[in-house]
Amino acid sequence: MGGPKMKPANFSKYLTEYLEHYLPELKNASENTLATYSDTFCYFLTYCQDVESVKIEKMSVSDLDAGLVERYLQWMETNQRNSISTRNNRLATIHSFVRYLQPREPKFLLNFQQILAIPTKKAPQKTVQPLSKESVGILLRQPDTSTLKGRRDATVLCVLYDTAARVSELCGLRIEDVRFENPPHIRITGKGMKVRTVPILPETAKNLKSYLIETHRLKPECYHMPLFLNRDGEAFTRSGIRYILNKYVRMAHEVDGSIPESLNPHRMRHTKAMHLYEAVDDLVDVRDFLGHSDIKTTSIYARSSLAKKKLAMEKISDSPVPELASWQQNKNTLEWLKNFGRKK
CA–CA separation, 147 and 144 (whole Å)? 6
Question: Which residue in the list 126, 301, 331, 344 is annotated as catalytic?
Answer: 301
Question: Which residue in the list 269, 272, 275, 287 is annotated as catalytic?
Answer: 269
Task: State the Cα torsion 112-117-123-124 to the nearest 10°.
Answer: 180
Question: Which residue in the list 95, 179, 187, 292 is annotated as catalytic?
Answer: 292
Question: Which residue in the list 99, 219, 266, 338 is annotated as catalytic?
Answer: 266
Residue 301 annotated in active site: yes
Residue 266 annotated in active site: yes
Residue 71 annotated in active site: no
Residue 87 annotated in active site: no
Question: Which residue in the list 166, 206, 275, 310 is annotated as catalytic?
Answer: 166
Instruction: Say if CB 163 and CB 241 are below 8 A apart.
Output: no
Residue 275 annotated in active site: no
Helix 148-163 × helix 238-255 angle, to 10°: 100
CA–CA separation, 191 and 169 (whole Å)? 9
Instruction: Say if CB 74 and CB 60 are below 8 A apart.
Output: no
Residue 342 annotated in active site: no
Q: Which residue type sits at 310?
A: K
What does 50-76 look like in DSSP terms, one character per residue? HTS---GGG--GGG--HHHHHHHHHHH
Question: Which residue in the list 95, 133, 191, 267 is annotated as catalytic?
Answer: 191
- Active-site residues, by number, are 166, 191, 266, 269, 292, 301
